[in-house]
Amino acid sequence: MAEARVKAREESVFAERFAVFAECLLTGVWIAVACLGVVTYPAAFAAGARHLRRRTGHQGSGWREFAADFRAALRGGWAVGLAGWILAALAQVDVLAVRKGLPGGPAAGAVGLFALIGLAVAGLRASAVWAPGERWRVLLAAAGRRTVRDPAGSFLLVGGAALVVCSALLIAPLAVPVLGAVAAAAVAVEERYLRR
């Protein structure tokens, strides 16, 4: 009798963990659809992270809640998305300086690349803690500090982003659901930081 209860509990833990994994993949699809607006990616990740926080907190959540969160995050998130694309264009200028052999080009390229990676990690961390009514500027400033103070978590998010890129290079459609895993990683990194 006791063995049956232990086995049933182990199966339910496995089923719950698999359900969270499946929810991450579905959330990745939702994030990809919400990112079609080009400058909407911060709001999409924020809505996805909030959905996953609700799911792991055993609260009801679905497509409607995701869409409502996306609309709320979009109010200030579109400006963050636009700024991200401008910074990416500036990083491209740094890469061109390196390729043209300009003096100081390699150093400028390295600084630009590391700055872009750091800003992307800070953006993911800010999206992971977003809630309705939060101001993106405040979230990004706090996320920037956490990015520097928690290098292990930051490297985890860099690895997650690298996984999305590798997935896209190997099998392009696989990159879509993996976006949800990156959002889940950002939520986990922030939860880990708060518990330290």
pLDDT of residue 193: 92
Whether 144 contacts 65, CB under 8 Å: no
Whether 77 contacts 46, CB under 8 Å: yes
Give the up-direction half-sphere exposure of residue 144: CA atoms within 13 A in the CB hemisphere.
Answer: 9
Residues of the chain under the 70 pLDDT cut = 1-11
Query: Torsion angle of alpha carbons 121, 126, 129, 132, nearest 10°?
Result: -150
Q: Of 163, 165, 154, 174, which Cα lies nearest the Cα of 28?
A: 174
Spatial CB neighbours of 88, under 8 Å, sequence gap ≥ 6: 116
Query: Torsion angle of alpha carbons 9, 14, 17, 22, nearest 10°?
Result: -130
Spatial CB neighbours of 147, under 8 Å, sequence gap ≥ 6: 118, 121, 122, 125, 154
pLDDT of residue 38: 87
Interatomic CA distance for residues 3 and 169, integer angstroms:
46
pLDDT of residue 14: 77
pLDDT of residue 122: 95
Q: Tokens representing 66?
A: 């995701």
pLDDT of residue 6: 54
pLDDT of residue 104: 74
Indicate the pTM of the whole model.
Answer: 0.86
